Structure 1
Amino acid sequence: MSETASADSGANGAVEGGKNNAAANKGGKKTEKKRGFFGRIALFVRQVIAELKLVVVPTRPQLINYSIVVIVFVAVVMLFIVALDFGLGKAAGAVFG
């Protein structure tokens, strides 16, 4: 996010504020003074809190579904890697053995 975005706005407002401010400053001059060290830290913390408010906690059925999908995907990839390792091992044994 840009430093020119307002600190107390949400994530969408900060992006829109940056666009409006960029359009107003076509000459490249900054109208807002540069934030100090602690001001930038405070802005960062406010932006983190605003983003965390947008997080949606999945329901129990969604969480179970996502977990099953991840476990199945990991099992399929693991089987693929085992087959590839076995096949390359047999090929290396045939060539060098």
Structure 2
Amino acid sequence: MSETSSAPTESRRPQRTSPLTFYRQVVAELRKVVWPTRPQLINYFFVVLVFVVVMMGIIAGLDYGFGKLVFWLFS
């Protein structure tokens, strides 16, 4: 009894696309994107800005507090 494996190898590489096909696919995907309106973009900008400022305040406060604590412990 001879065992010959006729199963396809699993190490096949997917076929590469040409740069032109890639560009066309990118353009087609970008056309599907729902772009925000100007008021939405301004709103998102301020939401992110406020969030970043709040996070900076929290981190700065923790840094200051831990710094004071370390100086108090080691002085």
TM-score normalised by structure 1 residue count? 0.56
Q: Distance in 2 between matches of 1:85 and 1:48?
A: 44
Unpaired runs of at least 5, structure 2 = 1-6, 10-14
Superposed CA deviations along residues 48-88 of structure 1, whole A, max 9, x for unmatched, are: 11111122221122112111101110111000011011011
* Alignment match, 1:60: 38
Q: CA RMSD for the aligned pairs?
A: 2.1
Secondary structure of 1:62's partner?
Answer: helix
Counterparts of residues 4-83 of structure 1 (less than 5 Å): 34-35=15-16, 39-83=17-61
- Residue ranges of structure 1 left out of the alignment (5+ in a row): 1-26
- Are residues 1:88 and 2:66 paired? yes
Aligned equivalent of 2:4: none
Bigger Cα Rg: 2
- Runs of 4+ in structure 1 deviating by more than 3 angstroms, as ranges, are none
Q: Identity over aligned residues, as a percent?
A: 52
Between the two structures, name the one with larger relative contact order (CA 8 Å, sep ≥ 6): 1
Q: TM-score, normalised by structure 2?
A: 0.69
